[in-house]
Amino acid sequence: MAKIINVVKGTHDILPQEVEQWHILEKNALEIFSRYGYKEIRTPIFEVTELFARGVGDTTDIVNKEMYTFEKSERSLTLRPENTAGVVRSYIENGMSRLSPPVKLWYKGPMFRYERPQKGRQRQFHQVGVEMFGVKEPAADAEVILMAVDYLKSLGLDDLEVEINSLGCPKCREEFKNNLKAVLKPEFDNLCEDCQKRYEKNPLRLLDCKVESCKAIFEKPEIQKVIQSDFICEECADHFAKLKSYLDTMQVKYTVNKLLVRGLDYYNRTVFEIKSNNLGSQNAVCGGGRYDSLVKNLGGEDTPAVGWAMGMERLNALLPVPELKKLNGYIVSNSPVEALELAQKLRKEGYRIEFDLSNKKFTKQLEKASKVADYALILGEDEIKAGKVSVKNLATSEQKTVSIEELRSIL
C-alpha cells in the first residue's frame, strides 16, 4: 500500500460533523453585523510581504517569527497572519475614503501563523473580524465592543469577561515607555530572552509576556507603581472615560486591565480583549482596539479606525456540538427508476432525500435508513403498482401506506 500523507502539523480538517457549528458562527455574523450596518469584504489569502511588515509592525512576533513567506517571480509574498492590514490595503486601493464615514467592513476566513501548536493555537486558524473607518469619537469604540458582545450572546456565550485598557497616543505613550524602561532596567538580566529583545524596540509588549518569571517581576511594587500610573494625556483620558461611561450606560460589564497591551504595533488609545474562563491558557476569544495611524502608514489619508478579530476555533470550543441534521426520508426500493423519480420530486420541494444506489436487500436498506433518516419510504412492487408509498416512522416503527400527496403531510 502507498504511504499515507498526513495533515500538516498545526492544521486541521473541519469534518462534516463539525461544519454545522461553523455555519452557525457564519450565519450569526452576517445577521448581527448587518444590523449594525457592516458589509462583508473578502480579501486575498496572500499579500505582498511588505504589507504585513508595515501594517502589523516589524517589532511583533507575527512579523519576526510567525509568517509563512514565499517567493514567486522575485516577489516576496506572505499568507495573511491577520486580516486588518489586508482590509486597510483594500480600503485605500478602492478609494473607500470617498464614501461617507463610517465605512464598516467585516470578514471571515483562514489566517496563518507559524506558532507552537497547542490547545487553542493552530498554524492555520480562522478569524471573524470587523473594521470601522472614519470615526475618531469613543462612541465608535463602544459600538464595536457592544457588537462583539451582541454577537457572542447570539451564540449563547454570555459569561465572558471584557477587559479594556488605553495605550494613549504616541506622544503620551513615549513617556510611559521611558518610565517603564527605567524601572525595569535593574531587572534586565532577569527578563526572558524575548523580553530582553523587546526592551528597546517595543517595551510595552513586555507587559504581555506569558513567562512566569517575567510576570513575577512585573508584580514588584515599584514596577506596579509605573504600570498602574495614569500616564495618558488629557485628551486620551477623556476618550477612555467616555468609552467607559458608554459601556456603563449600555450595561456592558468590563474590567480595566493595565497589563493589556496587545501583540500588534498599530494600536493606540483603546485596546480590549474578551476572555473565557473555560478555555485553559489560550483564553482570549476576541482582541481588538483603535488603530488611528494605520491607514496613513499604509499610504492612505489620515483616517481613524477601530476593530476586532475573534478566533473561530476558540469560539467553537465553547459551543455545544449541534446534532447532525437527519434526512427527511430514505427511499427503500429495488426499482431505481421509480426511486429516482420519487427522490427528485421530493428534493425539488425542498425535502432531504436519499436512496440506495446499489440494489441492496431491503433489510440492509432499512438498517441504513434508521441511521440517517426520520422516515423510510418503502417503494416495493406492490406500492409501485398502486401508485403509493409505505412510510415507516423510524423512531416509533409505525408504518402506513399512503399516496404521494399524503406523504407530504407526514414528512
Q: Residues binding ligand ATP: what is the number (CB under 6 A)? A: 20
- Closer residue to ligand ATP (CB): 294 or 407: 294
| 282 lies in the binding site for ligand ATP (CB under 6 A) | yes
Judged by beta carbon, residue 227 or residue 317, the one nearer ligand ATP is 317
**Which residue in 37, 120, 51, 115 sits closest to 80, CA to CA?**
51
Please give the helix or strand (H or E) that residue 274 lies within, else none: strand 268-275
Q: Binding of ligand ATP at residue 115 (CB under 6 A)?
A: yes
Cβ contact 381:362 at 8 Å: no
Whether the bond into 322 is cis, omega within 30 of 0: no
Q: How far is the CB of 25 from ligand ATP (least distance, A)?
A: 12
| Binding status of residue 287 toward ligand ATP by CB under 6 A | yes
Q: Which is nearer to ligand ATP, 130 or 378 (CB)?
A: 130
* CA 91-92-94 angle, 5° bins: 70
For position 311 contacting ligand ATP by CB under 6 A, the verdict is yes
The DSSP output letter for 121 is B
Least Å distance between CB 336 and ligand ATP?
A: 47
Instruction: Dihedral sign for Cα 339, 341, 342, 345, please.
Output: positive
3-class SS at 13?
coil
Give residue 389's identity as a one-letter amino acid code: V
Site stretch for ligand ATP (CB under 6 A), options 239-247, 293-301, 306-314, 333-341: 306-314
107 binds ligand ATP (CB under 6 A): no
Longest dimension (CA), the chain: 94
CB of 20 to ligand ATP, least distance (A): 20
Place of cell 458589509: 39
Q: Residue 281 has what DSSP assignment?
A: T
Q: Which stretch binds ligand ATP (CB under 6 A): 36-44, 92-100, 304-312, 381-389?
A: 304-312
Q: What is the number of helices (H) and of strands (E) in the chain?
A: 16, 16
> Which grid coordinates are listed for 211?
513567562
Q: Which of 32, 53, 79, 82 binds ligand ATP (CB under 6 A)?
A: 82
**Nearest residue (CB) to ligand ATP, 63 versus 310:** 310
Whose grid coordinates read 400527496?
A: 405
- Shortest Cβ 41–ligand ATP spacing (Å): 17
One residue of 292, 313, 356, 383 binding ligand ATP per CB under 6 A: 313
Looking at residue 375, its amino acid is Y
Least spacing, CB of residue 251 vs ligand ATP, in Å? 23
Q: Which of the stretches 41-49, 280-288, 356-364, 403-411 binds ligand ATP when contact is defined by CB under 6 A?
A: 280-288
Residue nearest to ligand ATP (CB): 311
Q: Which of 257, 279, 280 is nearest to 270 (CA)?
A: 257
CA torsion, points 175, 273, 195, 111, in degrees to nearest 10? -120
Residues forming contacts to ligand ATP in the complex (CB under 6 A) are 82, 113, 115, 120-122, 125, 127, 262-263, 282, 284-287, 309-311, 313-314
